[in-house]
Each structure stands twice: as C-alpha cells, then as structure tokens.
Amino acid sequence: MTAHRSADASTHQDDAAPGSASDGNTEYGRKSFKRSRSHFADRITADGRDGWPVEAGRYRLVVSRACPWASRALVSRRLLGLEDALSLAVTDPIQDDRSWRFTLDPDGRDPVLGIRYLSEAYDARETGYPGGVSVPAVVDVPSGKLVTNDFQQITLDLATEWTALHRPGAPDLYPEPLRGEIDEVMDGVYRDVNNGVYRAGFATGQKEYEEAYEDVFRRLEVLSWRLSDRRYLVGDTITEADIRLFTTLVRFDAVYHGHFKCNRYKLAEDPVLWAYMRDLYQTPGFGDTVDFDHIKRHYYQVHTGINPTQVVPRGPDLAGWLTPHHREQLGGRPFGDGTPPGPVPPGEEVPPAGRP
C-alpha cells in the first residue's frame, strides 16, 4: 500500500493514499488506477545473495493493519512463528503529507528504528527517492535502510528462505509440489480480486468501473465453485494462496462492497465464501491479525476523493465472523503435519475496537 508524499510525488496512482494534509487524497476516484511495481526488490535470503542474509533480530517488518498487502506479511509471520526473529512496527492507519507515520508509538517515533516516518528509511536507502512510500516494508535495523517493499515476494521468502528460523510445527505455506497450481490460482486472485476491487473503486468512468466490477464477481464465482467441495484453495492445507485471498475478502463487506462499489452481493451472502472466510478468520494467525477499526478508518477517512465527508460507517456487524462455519466437514488439515501458532505476543494484540 503506497502513500504518496505529495500530490505529485508519483506518476501513478497506487492503492493507498497520500496523507490528509496532501491534496493527493482527493485524486482517488478522479485518476485512473494503476498499481506500481516495487521499486526496492532486494531479497532477504538464506544465502544472502543480495547482501541481506536471513538473521534473527536484524530486520524490522513495517506494516499498516489497514493494508491488505501488508496484512499478508502479518499472517505469514504469525503462522511461521517468526515474531521473535522479525520484529514488527505498526503504522497509524491515517497518514499525513509525509505518508505512513509512527504516531501510535510513544512520542510518535518507532522505538526500534527511531524514526517518525517510514519515508526516512526509504530516504536512507535512496536519497531523494521520488516515489510512493509503501507497506509492507522490511528495514535493516543496524543501518536504518529500507531493504525491500516487494509485497509479492516478501511472504514467499518468509515461507522458503527463513525456514531456519521458523517455529517448530510451522506449516509449509508454499509446498514445492504444488507451486505451479498455487501460482496459477494466485495469478487470477491477484488480477481480478486483490487488484480488481481497486480498479473498480478508483475507476474514473462507467465503462472502466463496470469492467473491473465484472472481473471481481466473475472471479468470486469461480472461487466459490472451487471451494464448494474443498476446504482450501490448493491441496488440503493452508497455503500462500489462501493468505492472499483472505486479506482482500476480510475487507470486502466492511469496505469494498460500499466504498469501492463492489456491491453485487456481500461476502456474507455467498454461503461458500462466507463459510470459507469464517474458517480462516477463526484459525490462529488469521483473524488475530485483523483490525477492522484501522481498516475502516483508513479507507473512509483517507480516500477523500471517494468519501469527501470522511464519515466512517458503523457497520457491518462483526459478530458473524465468530459463528460456526462447519468447513471441517470437508476434511483438510489446516497446518498439515504441523501445529497452530501460539498466542499473539504481548503488545501485538489487536485492540478491542478492531475485533468482533
């Protein structure tokens, strides 16, 4: 999720927002949507081939709980038990004109990196970097430099390159025999669902909007059919594909249905997808990372081009997320031969305002 540092800081429009002090907020819904490529695509690997070896305690993961792309990393980190190895910084869901900021922390400064804005880590890596400041971001703690903002690759590397630091019983989220099928499923989910809701929400014309809208719901119908007789998207365990679909669909009724005009039906009106999502939400590592308060306040208060009043809706009622789903009847083993993650570490719990 990219936040521009000024209205003209980037030549494209991405899926996050400039801050409330920037005129860029009002561009959403007035400028055609285009997702940016990750500018900083170094990888943190077991062999350190890009100069960034996997090392416990060296790196800090910076996220916004409002952002679906950052939320992928939150879920992966929990499932794999990397909390002690990879520390976590959570930004304010509302930016100002310098983008993602650490105003949730004492004195408005990240206690580990010592910075007030994520942009400072970007500037430490590349002086005068003109682009948007995105989450998730991984920062090298000793140097204070951004390592990567490659949201597509970060979680794959957590699953495959950080294995020496995984908890005992960690699941294999990207099993090698299934990678071809996982990649194929994720490609359609990315194009039509993850990205599709933004293309609909930020459309500047009727035709553009309707094409994106049709893509979203055509793909949801395919996924609903696929999940009608299987518990998970690929194989009989949770994989990266489920994580990537979850982080968009958990926001669907709260944000995308109304705010982004993806309103053919609510997620709760599709029996298969709604049960699938409740199953994942109630699985340790998924729902315990979701903050509905951050999600709603970010979208409705930051995208002033779409919602100029900045009024945040009270609904939907979140109680349904905790109701029985009965998906266990389809079989499947959530963690394969592994085990669920332990309790959420102290200080990382989602506040009551963000939970059902």
For residues 351 and 293, the answer to whether their CB atoms sit within 8 Å is yes
**What is the distance, to the nearest Å, from the Cα of residue 66 to the centroid of all Cα atoms in its chain?**
8
Phi, psi of 96 (to 5 degrees): -115, -165
Burial group, residue 183, by CB count within 10 angstroms (0-12, 13-18, 19+): middle
Which one, of 115, 99, 103, 3, lies nearest residue 60 by Cα? Answer: 115
Q: Which of 59, 122, 198, 256 is catalytic?
A: 198
C-alpha dihedral (52, 161, 174, 326), degrees to nearest 10: -90
Active site residue 198: yes
Kindly list the distances between the CA atom of residue 261 and the CA atoms of 191, 254, 258, 266, in Å, as whole numbers in the listed order.
18, 12, 5, 11
DSSP string over 146-177: EEE--HHHHHHHHHHT-GGGSPTT---SS-GG
Active site residue 67: yes
Which one, of 206, 198, 204, lies nearest residue 29 by Cα? Answer: 204
Phi, psi of 99 (to 5 degrees): 85, -150
> Which residues does the annotation mark as catalytic?
67, 198
